[in-house]
Amino acid sequence: MMSEATRFAVVGDRRSFLKVSAAAALVPAWFVEECRSQEEPAPSSSPNERPHIALIGCGGRGRGIAQEASRLGNVVAVCDVDSKHAEEAAKQFKGAKVYKDFRKLLESKDVDAILNGTPDHWHTLVNLAALKANKDVYSEKPLTLTIDEGKRLVAAVRTSGRILQTGSQQRSDPRFRLVCELVRNGRIGKLTRITTILPAGPARGPFKPAPTPTELDWDFWQGQASKCEYMPERCHLWFRYWLDYSGGTMTDWGAHHNDIALWAMGLDRSGPATVEAKVLVNPIAGGFTAPAQYEVEYTYANGVRHRCLSTTADTIFGSPERGAKPEALHHGVKFEGTDGWIFVTRGRSEASDPELLTRPLAAPKVRLYVSNNHMANFFDCLRSRKAPVCEAEIGHRSASVCHLGVIALRLGRKLKWDAAKEEFVDDREANGYLTREMRRPWNYDMI
C-alpha cells in the first residue's frame, strides 16, 4: 500500500474542467462561470495513488456508489451479511476481499475509507465503528435512524478528525445549489413558505413469514432491531417501509428534499421550532408500518412555514406513475416568497417568472459550497481534509427534520422542538422517540 501522502497527490485539473462543462448544461452560464474559480481539481487517477475503499452493504445503492468510487479509488474489500450480495460485489470489483462482519473488515490496515450502503438501522453502528478504526466514511442517507444517533455521530466525527460525507447527493447538483443560492440571496423576496413533495410509500400487507434464504444471516441483518421471523418484504429494498428499520418515504426522500429546504433557509445546522403531522393513509395491520401518505407542517423561528406532503403521482423511485399527468403534483421543493416562487426537482426547475432563474445575482451576499459531483467531492476531501458538502452535522440535521416528522406522525399532535438543545420542549413522550432500544448484543460500547 502506498503512503497516504503519495496516494492523495493531485494531478492536473482536466477533470475539474469536464465537471464544470457538464454542469453548464443544467444552469445559466453566469452561474457556471462564477463557480469555475471555486472548482477543485480531482484526485489522482494513477492506480498506485488512489485511496483504498471498502463497501459495507452491497445492495442496489451500495454497488452503485462503489462503482462511482471505483473511478477515483480502488475498491479493495466488500462486506455483506447476504453472501450472494457480497459475491456479486466481489465479481464487480475484481480482487476485492470478501467479508461478512464489518468489524473484521475494519481491522484491515489496507482500507482508508468505507462506503456505507447498509439499511438505515445499521448506518450509525457501522459509521461509529469505522470512525473508531480511523477510516473516512461516505454514508448513505438518511444518515441515522434516530436523532440521538446523529448527535453521537457528529461528536465522533469531531473527535476523530475523520471525513464523513452523507449521501444526499442533491447537494452536488448545480440545479439545486443555484435555487438555494437564489433563495438565500432574496431572489423571491422574503421567503414565506416551503413545500417539499415526496413520493408516497406503499400501503401493503399483511405479509407472511417465509423460510430464510440460505445465503442470508437474518439475525445479523436485523442487528439492533427487535427480532422477528424472516419475511422478504422486511428485508432487501423493502426495509425502508418499516419503522423498525427506517421511516418510510418521509426519511427516504425527505433526506433529499428536506435537506434542500434547510439549505435554502441557511438552517442546515439547526431545525424547526414546531412540527405537527397527519397520517392520510393508515398502515395495514401486519404490513408495512411506516405511514404511506401523510402531511407534515413545520414552523421555524424565522417565520417560514414548511409543509411536507406525499404524492401518489410518483413511484417510490421518483419516476412519474404510469398515466400521471405532467401537471400533477410531482416530487420536488417549492419556495414561495413575497416576489415570486421557484420549484426545483431532479432535472427540472420552474419559476413564477422564468427570469428569476436566469438573471445573474448582483453581488450575492451568500455563496454556497460548490460541489458538482458528490463522490468526487468526497475524494477531494480525503486529500484536502476539508469538510465535504454534506458533512456529518448537515446529514444529521437533514435526517432530524425527517425524524421529527415521523415522530409527529406517530403522536398525531403538535410538538415544540428546541433545535439548539435537540429535544422536545417539556414532552417526555415525544423525547422517548429520540432514541431506540438496542437488541443485545448490539450496543455503543462494543464498537
Ligand X SMILES: NC(=O)c1ccc[n+]([C@@H]2O[C@H](COP(=O)([O-])OP(=O)(O)OC[C@H]3O[C@@H](n4cnc5c(N)ncnc54)[C@H](O)[C@@H]3O)[C@@H](O)[C@H]2O)c1
Question: From the list 40, 50, 53, 62, which residue makes contact with ligand X (rule: CB under 6 A)?
Answer: 62
Residue 117 lies near ligand X (rule: CB under 6 A):
yes
Residue 82 lies near ligand X (rule: CB under 6 A):
yes
H-run or E-run covering 215: none
Question: From the list 44, 118, 224, 398, which residue makes contact with ligand X (rule: CB under 6 A)?
Answer: 118
Residue 140 lies near ligand X (rule: CB under 6 A):
yes
| CB 100, min distance to ligand X, A | 8
Nearest of 56, 139, 401, 118 to residue 255 by alpha carbon: 401
Question: From the list 61, 177, 187, 306, which residue makes contact with ligand X (rule: CB under 6 A)?
Answer: 61
Sole window of 57-65, 197-205, 261-269, 431-439 interacting with ligand X (rule: CB under 6 A): 57-65
Peptide bond preceding 28: is omega within 30 degrees of 0, i.e. cis?
no
Residues 6 or more apart from 287 whose CB is under 8 A from it?
203, 204, 205, 206, 207, 233
Residues 6 or more apart from 82 whose CB is under 8 A from it?
58, 213, 215, 216, 217, 221, 236
Cβ proximity to ligand X: between 140 and 149 the closer is 140
Q: What is the DSSP string of 30-98?
A: HHHHHHHTTPPPPBP--GGGSPEEEEE--SHHHHHHHHHHTTTSEEEEEE-SBHHHHHHHHHHSTTPEE
Residues 185, 264: Cα–Cα separation, whole Å: 9
Amino acid at 79: C
Question: From the list 102, 138, 253, 335, which residue makes contact with ligand X (rule: CB under 6 A)?
Answer: 102
> Are the CB atoms for 294 and 282 separated by under 8 Å?
no
Question: From the list 77, 79, 130, 267, which residue makes contact with ligand X (rule: CB under 6 A)?
Answer: 79
Sole window of 181-189, 218-226, 335-343, 364-372 interacting with ligand X (rule: CB under 6 A): 218-226
Q: How long is the chain?
A: 447
Residue 59 lies near ligand X (rule: CB under 6 A):
yes
Sole window of 50-58, 128-136, 157-165, 391-399 interacting with ligand X (rule: CB under 6 A): 50-58
Residue 106 lies near ligand X (rule: CB under 6 A):
no
Residues 191, 176: Cα–Cα separation, whole Å: 16
In this chain, which residue has its C-beta nearest to ligand X?
59
| CB 143, min distance to ligand X, A | 9
The number of beta carbons lying within 10 Å of the beta carbon of residue 41 is 17
Contact characters 168-197, ligand X, x per CB under 6 A: -x----------------------------
All three cell numbers of 127, joined, read 459509521
Contact characters 250-289, ligand X, x per CB under 6 A: --x-------------------------------------
Question: From the list 155, 237, 301, 446, which residue makes contact with ligand X (rule: CB under 6 A)?
Answer: 237
Cβ proximity to ligand X: between 201 and 223 the closer is 223
Sole window of 111-119, 328-336, 375-383, 416-424 interacting with ligand X (rule: CB under 6 A): 111-119
β-pairing, 415-418 with 136-139? Answer: unpaired
| CB 219, min distance to ligand X, A | 10
Cβ proximity to ligand X: between 167 and 332 the closer is 167
Nearest of 112, 68, 77, 42 to residue 375 by alpha carbon: 68
Instruction: Say which residue the cell 463557480 belongs to.
Output: 35
All three cell numbers of 164, joined, read 464523513
| CB 439, min distance to ligand X, A | 13
Residues that bind ligand X (CB under 6 A): 56-62, 79-82, 85, 102, 117-120, 122, 140-141, 167, 169, 220-221, 223, 236-237, 252
